[in-house]
Amino acid sequence: MMRSAILALAALLHCCANAAGGLPDSVTGVWATASDTGTRTEMHLDADGLGMMIGSAAPLQHVDGKDGGQSGPRPSIGFPVRVTLDGATLTAQPFLPSSKAGRAIPAVICLHNEAAAAMTCTGPDGVPIALTRREATVSLDASRTLDSIRRMASPSSR
């Protein structure tokens, strides 16, 4: 009986430690570069530290000018990340399926300026990217995508 109580307490402490290790409200949400017409970088961060990084090219333009003044779609690519915060330093590590887990992939390192609601991030290429906070929470679509990543990553789904 005592052993069961100790195991239950250990499980509870593990659960609480994981919850406490999440991201603060000042970091969660959507962060993006300021460009509406050029290339754009976005980071969508959930409270548990799971997120997505998305890069897109400038909106496509019709070469014949028949776009009615509307911007075309943006060619985009993204990948999931696991994010940790140590003081003002945020580390976004690409999150791969277990079949690729042994590969070393460079992280994106960001310096978070809470007062300015801004981050300066540097990827493997060494080029700094300035991001500002766009939303305090991720969108419903991003939340659904992150939920599907969580399900794929959970041991019970394999």
Mean of pLDDT over the chain: 81
What dotted CATH number matches 23-157? 2.40.128.360
Among the residue ranges 6-10, 38-42, 74-78, 129-133, the one predicted with the least confidence is: 6-10
User: Contact at 8 Å (CB) between 78 and 57?
Assistant: no
pLDDT at 137: 95
Q: What pTM was estimated for this model as a whole?
A: 0.75
Residues 25-62 pLDDT 10s? 999 999 999 877 788 999 999 999 999 999 998 888 77
Question: What is the spatial distance between Cα 152 and Cα 87, in angstroms, rounded to a whole number?
Answer: 30
Which of 37, 42, 33 lies closest to 61 in space, CA to CA? Answer: 37
Helix (H) or strand (E) holding 121: strand 118-122
State the CB neighbour count (10 A cutoff) for residue 29. Answer: 22
Residues 94-128 pLDDT 10s? 987 665 666 678 899 999 999 999 999 999 899 99
pLDDT at 46: 97
pLDDT at 25: 96
pLDDT at 55: 92
Q: In this model, does residue 139 exceed pLDDT 80?
A: yes
